[in-house]
Amino acid sequence: MTGAVDHIAGHTFHGRKGAIENAFRYSIDYVLCDAETLPKTPGLFRRNRAGLTSLLDRDHGGAPHRGRGARWVRDVLVAQGIDGVQTIEILAQPRVLGFVFNPVSFWLCRDSAGALITVIAEVTNTYGDRHCYLCRNEDLRPITAEDHLPSTKILHVSPFQPIEGSYTFRFDIREDRIGIWIDYSAGNGGLIATLTGRRKTLTNAGILRAMLRRPFGARRVQALIHWQAVKLWWKGAGFRPRPLPPKNEVSR
């Protein structure tokens, strides 16, 4: 079974809440495909093989670079008592020239009718720690853009934000575009993060345009993260040392 890979040449926005303001918006590239089938790919993109751009199972579903892909997702669904998932899609930034870093990627789990019923948000910090947040309605009804799905934050992500607090996730995944909103709240502070963009079939031309506009892929993303950290330090935001990561891989 085969299927096309979609390209989201989108934008991400981060806006800090609280006394020290900081906000930024930049363009970013994600790919979206079925995680359990062999997709049709253009020549400049490879699935589970090295290429100019690629998406590898070992980068997702478990510890970074030791992932098990959709097999890990299936195990999580069983452990969480979630039945009825027919297909699993992955939404992530691809490797570019062999390098990858995904601050957050998403496993989209759909039922036999194609309805989105569970999302696993896979969060990875710059220290190489990873934790996943399971997002669903309690009755497993389809997730719509109006649903606000809460999770308790337990992974240290930014040295300028505490671990305590909670996330509220919102997903609007359509055939022609995606919208994901994450609202992190902790006391009077927190952060708003978004990912939005139109879905198009991934092509060699689209990959080349992305390489010209956003060279180095995830290396550029890491550089931008560190640049924002410098700005926050300059503004006087308090720095928190990295604690030990949580032992459990998944929470709600």
pLDDT digits (tens, 9 = 90+) for 102-133: 999 999 999 999 999 999 999 999 999 999 99
pTM, rounded to two decimals: 0.95
Residue with tokens 């309690």: 138
> Is the per-residue pLDDT at 238 higher than 90?
no
Could you give the strand order of the β-sheet that contains 95-96, starting from the edge strand earlier in sequence?
45-47, 53-55, 95-96
Q: What is the average per-residue pLDDT within 231-242? A: 87
Tokens matching residue 61: 């579903």
pLDDT digits (tens, 9 = 90+) for 173-227: 999 999 999 999 998 899 999 999 999 999 999 999 999 998 878 788 888 888 8
The better pLDDT of the pair 238, 117 is held by 117
**Alpha carbon of residue 96 to chain centroid:** 16
